[in-house]
Structure 1
Amino acid sequence: MATTKPGNRKLAPLKVALAILGLFAAVSLLGGTAIWSVLGLADDLDIDGRAAQVRTVEPGFGAGWGAYGGDALGSRYSNAAQITPENVGDLEIAWQVSTGALEGRDSARSRTAFQTTPILVEDQLVLCTQFNEVIALAPDTGEEIWRHDPQIPIDGRPANQFTCRGVSYWQGEGADDAPCSSRIFTGTVDARLIALDTHTGRPCAEFGDGGSVRVEPSMSLRWPGEFQITSAPAITGDVVITGSAIGDNLRTDAPVGIVHAYDVRSGEPLWTFNPVPRDPDDPARESWAGNSADTTGHANVWSTISVDAQRGLVFLPTSSPSPDYFGGNRVGDNRYANSVVALDGRTGEVAWHFQTVHHDLWDYDVPAQPGLYQVWKDGRAHDVVAQVTKTGLVFVLDRETGEPFLPVEERTVPQGGVEGEVLSPTQPFPVRTPPLVRNTLDPWDAFGVTLWDRWACANAISDLRREGLYTPPSERGTLAYPFTGGGANWGSAAFDPGRNLLVVNMNNVAAFVRLTRRPDEGEEIDAIEDGAEFAPMEGSPYVMHRAPLLSPLGLPCSPPPWGVLAAVDLASGEIVWRRTLGTTEDLAPGGIALDIGTPSLGGPVVTASGLVFIGATMDDYLRAFDVETGRELWKGRLPAGGQATPMTYRYGGRQYVVIAAGGHSTAGTRIGDSLVAFALPE
C-alpha cells in the first residue's frame, strides 16, 4: 500500500506510549518521588530570551483573515488586539457549532482529519469539512448561512485521509450582487477544483463543467484515492492554482506532481508546471542523470502555495521524487523537487528556485507554506521568503532572487548508501540558525522510564546507522531524526512583523528506516517487520520498512520534549526562545498532565497584542503564549483534538479566536466535527 506525503500517519503509537509514561508518572508521584528525577528529564531544548520591538507595523496590515494563511503571504498575523497578555486568561467559549460532517459517514470516521482553517470574507466565516463540504457561518454566532456538499465518495481510501485544510476567495469587478461576482474555491479528495458563489454557496455554472474542473493525474492510478487535493488553492489576479497530494513509496514510475492553473471565471486551463523537468530544454533537467526525469514521479505540491501579488509571483513548496527512500534510478540533485520554486503567476515560468534537500532519500518534503515576510534589518525593510522544514532547519531567502538572505552553506554529509545509490556529497545548512530540534541521537541519550526500557532503546539505537542528519537509508537500518512527520509540517509558521519574529512548532521524534533487497520473482517478503510500515517501492531494487523508534513499553526512544514551540529573529537568525509544547493530559491514565511535549499537527497564529495562539498538540487544548518570551498564558478546553491552525478576527466590536476541533484519526486524537470560537466576556 502506498503511503502519504504529509508524513503524519505514524503518530498513533505515541498515544499508547504516552499513556504508559503517564502510568509510570502516577506511580512515581504516589511514591513521593518527583517524576523529573525518576526520568532524568532536563529540558535541554528550552531557551530563555525576549524578543525586541523592532518597529511599528504598517496600518492595515493583518486586518481580517481573508486567506488560509491569514493573507496570501502566509503571515498568520492579525492586527486584532482586543485580547492581550493581560486579559487572555478571561477567554471563554463564545459559540461552538457542530458541522454535522460525520453524520451518516461512520464507515469513514476512522480515516478523517479535521484540519481546516476558516476564512472571513463578506461577513461570513467560510470553511471546509473533512468531506469537502463548504459551509458559511455567521462570524458572531456560528449560525449556518449556506452549505455546499460536493458528494465525494467515502468508500475509498484517500492518500491523505479525508481532509480539507482550507478554501480560497476571489472577488471580481462589477456588481457585487451579481451571481458569482465573488467566489469560493476549494479542492476535493476526488481531485476536483470547485467554484462557488460566495453569497449562496451555489456552484458557478460557467466554471468548468457546471462549477467544477477535474484535475487529471499524469497517468492511470492504482486506486482512486491515490491522487487528491487537500490544501487551499492559490489565487493571483484572475488565476486559480492548485497542487495535489499523491500516495508515495508505491512505485518509481508514479504520477508526477503537476501544478495546474485555471481561469477563475471559465475554468479554462492556463498553464501547468511539472516539478520533475520533462522538458528537454529545462536547465533543471541536467540535475537528473540520463532520462530519469521521464520515469520518475511526484515532487508534488501537497502543501499551501503563497502569492506575492505585487511581484506577480507564486511560491511552491515541492516534495520528494518517487520513491522517497531510493534514488539510484534518479541520480543527481533532482532540481525543483524538495524546493521553494517561484513562478510567474500568469505564465507558470520559473523565476527562481532554491533546493532545501539535494537528492532526497528521507521523505523530507518541503511541507509548509513559504512565508513571505518583510524583515527590518540595518534600518530598512527586506522582502524575504522564510521556509521551515521537516529537518528542523529554517531557510531565509531574498524574495526577488532566491539567494540566501541569511547565509547558507553546503556541508559534507554522511556517504555510503546502499548498492546502486549515488548520494549528494553535501547538503545546504543555514549558518546562523541552528536546528530547532535535535538531529543526533547516541545510545547514552536513550530515553526510558526504567533501566531495562532505556537499555533496550540504547541497544536499538546502537544497531542503527546514526551519523547525523542525512545518514542514508541502509539495509542495516538507519536512524531518521527528525522523523518524516518533522520538524515542521503543514501547519507552517507565523510571523510577528513588529518584532521580526518567526514562530513555529516542531516535532522531536526519532524513527528508523530499513531497506531490504527485493525478492526474486515468485518469492515473497513479509509486509510487516517488527510492526513497521511497509512500502514496496516498485521499480527499485529495495522495499522499505519504517516506524517510530519505540522502546518495549511503547515509549519514544528519543528524549522529550517530543513537541516544541520556538521563535526565531529573522534579522539575525537567533533563536530567541524555545518551549515545550503539549502535555499528556488526554493520553495518560487519570488525565495526568506531564509537561513533556507531544507531537503536533497544525500551526500558530500571532496577534498585534503580543499573543501566539496554537492548538495542534495531542491534548485537547487551544493555548496562548507570550510572543516575546514564549511563556504559556492560557489554555482553553476543546471538545476534540485541535489538529488545525486557528485564526482570529474582530467582528461587531469583539475579537474571536476560532479553531476546528475534530481530531486526527491516524494520530489517535479525539474525533469530532466542531468549530469553537473563544472571546472575552461581553
Structure 2
Amino acid sequence: MITLNKIVLFSLIVCLVGCQQPNSDWSSYGQDHTNQRYSRLDQINNKNVQGLKLAWQYQTGIKATFQATPIVQDGIMYISLPYNHVLAMNAKTGKVIWRYEHDRNRDWKMCCGPTNRGVAVHGEQLFMGTVDARLISLDIKTGHKLWDINVVENIVGTESISALNPSDPNREKKISGGTGVGISMAPVVYENKVIVGITGVGYGLHVEGREKDAPLGAVVGVAGRFGRPGFLAAYDIYSGKQVWQFDTIPAEGWEGDLSNYTKDGEVLNRDLLTEKESLLEYPDAAKYGGGSAWTTPAIDKDTHTLFFGTGNPSPQMSDQSRPGDNLYTVSLVALDANTGKLKWYYQQVPHDIWGYDVASPPVIFHTIHKGKIIPAVGQAGKTGWFYIHNRNTGELLLKSEAFVPQNNMFSEASEEGTTIYPGILGGSNWSPVSVNIDQHLAYVSGIHAPIKYTRHEKIVNGKAVRYTSSEPTNDDQWGLLSAVNLTDGKIRWQYRTDQPLLGGTLATKGNLVFVGEGNGNFSAVHGGSGEMLWSTKINAGVNAPAISYMINGKQYIAVVSGGNKIMGYKQGDFISVYSLN
C-alpha cells in the first residue's frame, strides 16, 4: 500500500533530482518543457488569496475566441490575440510596448474560430503559428518581422454541405467552419528548433446554432476523399528552414491490426468484416487521413523525447471511406525531438468515429508504479480518463477513474440518434492540465455535455451513402474540475461548475488551483480539498489557462478572457492581471 509518508518521501526525492528554484517568469506555454503549469511562487497562497485584487486590465479591441497563454520574460508580457496579432506589454503596468498586426494571406472558414494558443520566445526572437498556416518570427524588442514561411503551401478543398440529404435540416443552416488548415498551438523551442503542428485536417462540417451567439449546432462528417494528413514539424529558429517533419499518418500500414478493442480493453463495436472488404475499395485512404496536432508538445530534455497528441481521422465520424485503425490518429505519440523519428505511440481509440481527439496537452512527471519511481507522461482524454504511461516505453501504467460521467461510449450512431457522453466535446478537450507534483495531483478540466449521435443516409448514383452528425442534446450540461492522484488514478476531489470547463488550470506552490468558466467566473480553489477560496467576474468567458509570475518581489496572476464561439460563451477582449495589495 502507498502511504501518505511514502508519497511525501517520493516528492522529496523527485524534487532533489528535478526541482528548480522558483521561476519569476512564465517562459513557455506550459511554464517549462514539462507542461506541468506549476508555479513555485507562493506569495499568493490559500491563506491570503481572499485579498487578491485587480492590478491592471487591458482590452485588446478584438472580441473573439481568446485562448492564449501569455509569456512573461524579464518583466515583459508577450501575448497573441485572435487572428494572430501580437502584443508586447509591461507585465507590471499593462502599458503596450509594441503591437504586431497580422496580415492574413489566405482567408477561409476555420473549424474552431480565429484562436491562437500562444507564442514562444527564445533569445531575441518570438515565434507564432498562424490561422493561415504560416510560421512567423518577430524581433522581441520591436515586433518587426524577421522571417515568415508558409508551413503548408497548398490548401486542399473542403466538404460541401450539398453532400447532405436534401431533407436534412442542416442543409438550411450556415456552415461556420470545416476544413481550414492552420496552426492553433503555441510553438515550443528546443535546441534551436521551433516546433509546431497543423490543424484543420479532421474534415467535419461545423454547423452554426440558430442564434448569433449560440453554441455549435452540429458537427457533420461526410465520407469521401477530403483533405490530407496532419503533421508536426521542426524549423531552424534563424532561417525558418524545415529540419524535420513527422506525418501523423504513416506512409504504409495505417490500417493497423483491425482490433475490436482498445489497448486498455474497451469494446469498440466495429464491423471488422466490412472494414476488411473495404480495404481494397479505398487503397489510398491514408492520403486523406487527418490527424491534426492541436496542442503544444511536452519534451523530456534528459532523453530528447517529445510527446504530442493527434486528432481524429478524416473524414470525421463517417468511416465508410477509411477502413482500418487509421494510425496514428487519436494517439499519444513520442518522437525524437532532434530528428522527428518515431519512438512509440499509444492509440487511445482505433478507427475513431466519435471525435475523441487527443487534444489536451501531454504533461511529464515522475510517479510510483509497483514500488518504483517511473518517468511518466500523462494525458487527459476526451474519453474521460487520465492516461499515465511510462514515457520511455509507452507502456500504459494506469488510467484514472472517470473524471466525467460516461454513457454509451463507443456505441454506433443510429437513425433516431444515440445519446452518448462524453462525446465530441469531451471529456477533456484542448484544456491543459496542471500538476502539483508536491501534492502528486493533476488538475483536469472536465466537460459533461451529452451528444446525440445520428446516422443519415442518401442515395447517390443508386448507392447508399452514409454520413453522421453529432449535436448537443437538451440534457443538462456542467463542468467538473478534478484532482487526480498520479499514483493510483483515484479522484481526490471534484469541484462542479455550472458550465462545461474549457480553458485549463494553473497550479501554484501556494496550494491553489486557478480556473475560469464560460460565464466569466475566474476562481481559486484549494489544491488539496477543492474548496472555493476566491472568485471574481470578468465580462467575457474565461476560457484560457492562467499563469503566474513575479516582478520586483510581487507575485501576479494573469488570464485572458474572450469566450469561446463553439460553446456559445460570451466573446470579449480582456487581459486581466491580479495581485495582493
TM over 0.5, shorter chain:
yes
For residue 267 of structure 1, what is the amino acid of its counterpart? G
Give the structure with the larger strand fraction.
2
- Deviation of 1:60 (Å): 2.1
Match of residue 567 from structure 2 = 667
- Cα-to-partner distance string for 1:208-243 (whole Å, 9 max, x where unaligned): xxx111011666234997111111112221221211
- Deviation of 1:122 (Å): 3.2
- Deviation of 1:116 (Å): 0.8
What is the SS of the residue equivalent to 1:226? coil
Match of residue 60 from structure 1 = 20
Match of residue 12 from structure 1 = none
TM-score (norm 1): 0.71
- Deviation of 1:435 (Å): 1.1
1:82 to 2:43 alignment: yes
What is the SS of the residue equivalent to 1:245? coil
1:271 to 2:263 alignment: no
Aligned length: 514
Change (3 A) 1:132 1:201: same
Q: Which moved more, 1:221-230 or 1:513-522?
A: 221-230
Measured on the aligned residues, the alpha-carbon RMSD in Å equals: 2.6
Using the alignment, how far apart are the partners of 2:255 and 2:300 within structure 1? 24
Using the alignment, how far apart are the partners of 2:389 and 2:200 within structure 1? 28
For residue 132 of structure 2, what is the amino acid of its counterpart? D
2:481·2:501 contact (CA, 8 Å) conserved in 1? no
Change (3 A) 1:518 1:96: same
Using the alignment, how far apart are the partners of 1:394 and 1:155 within structure 2? 37
2:106·2:132 contact (CA, 8 Å) conserved in 1? no
Match of residue 261 from structure 1 = 234
Q: Which moved more, 1:122-131 or 1:285-294?
A: 285-294
1:505-654 to structure 2, matched below 5 A, reads 505-521=445-461, 541-550=465-474, 556=475, 558=476, 562-581=478-497, 597-615=498-516, 617-654=517-554
What is the SS of the residue equivalent to 1:276? coil
TM-score (norm 2): 0.83
Percent identity of equivalent pairs = 31
The partner residue of 2:187 within 224, 227, 233 is 233
1:215 to 2:151 alignment: yes
Using the alignment, how far apart are the partners of 1:299 and 1:156 within structure 2? 20
Unaligned ranges ≥5, structure 1: 1-48, 103-111, 172-181, 205-210, 407-429, 441-467, 523-538, 551-555, 582-596
Match of residue 129 from structure 2 = 187
1:245-324 to structure 2, matched below 5 A, reads 245-246=199-200, 248-249=203-204, 252-253=224-225, 254-278=227-251, 280=252, 289=279, 291-324=283-316
1:197 to 2:133 alignment: no
Report the structure number with the largest CA radius of gyration.
1
Change (3 A) 1:266 1:540: farther
- Cα-to-partner distance string for 1:584-635 (whole Å, 9 max, x where unaligned): xxxxxxxxxxxxx2112100110011000011x2221210010101111110
2:256·2:325 contact (CA, 8 Å) conserved in 1? no
- Deviation of 1:149 (Å): 1.4
What is the SS of the residue equivalent to 1:89? helix
2:331·2:349 contact (CA, 8 Å) conserved in 1? yes
Using the alignment, how far apart are the partners of 1:359 and 1:62 within structure 2? 44
Match of residue 92 from structure 1 = 53
Using the alignment, how far apart are the partners of 1:124 and 1:284 within structure 2? 48
1:473·1:514 contact (CA, 8 Å) conserved in 2? yes
Unaligned ranges ≥5, structure 2: 160-177, 205-221, 259-275
The partner residue of 1:353 within 345, 352, 363 is 345
Using the alignment, how far apart are the partners of 1:469 and 1:114 within structure 2? 31
For residue 232 of structure 1, what is the amino acid of its counterpart? A
- Deviation of 1:469 (Å): 1.4
1:218·1:255 contact (CA, 8 Å) conserved in 2? no
Change (3 A) 1:365 1:94: same
- Deviation of 1:672 (Å): 1.7
Change (3 A) 1:628 1:481: same
What is the SS of the residue equivalent to 2:66? coil
2:506·2:546 contact (CA, 8 Å) conserved in 1? yes
Match of residue 477 from structure 1 = 417
1:375·1:497 contact (CA, 8 Å) conserved in 2? no
Match of residue 528 from structure 1 = none
- Deviation of 1:328 (Å): 3.3
For residue 322 of structure 2, what is the amino acid of its counterpart? R
- Deviation of 1:153 (Å): 6.2
Change (3 A) 1:131 1:379: same
Change (3 A) 1:373 1:125: same
Using the alignment, how far apart are the partners of 2:44 and 2:250 within structure 1? 48
- Deviation of 1:548 (Å): 0.8
1:236·1:312 contact (CA, 8 Å) conserved in 2? no
Using the alignment, how far apart are the partners of 2:21 and 2:524 within structure 1? 21
For residue 193 of structure 1, what is the amino acid of its counterpart? L
Using the alignment, how far apart are the partners of 1:571 and 1:564 within structure 2? 21
Using the alignment, how far apart are the partners of 1:189 and 1:611 within structure 2? 34
- Cα-to-partner distance string for 1:495-527 (whole Å, 9 max, x where unaligned): 0110110111101110111111133359xxxxx
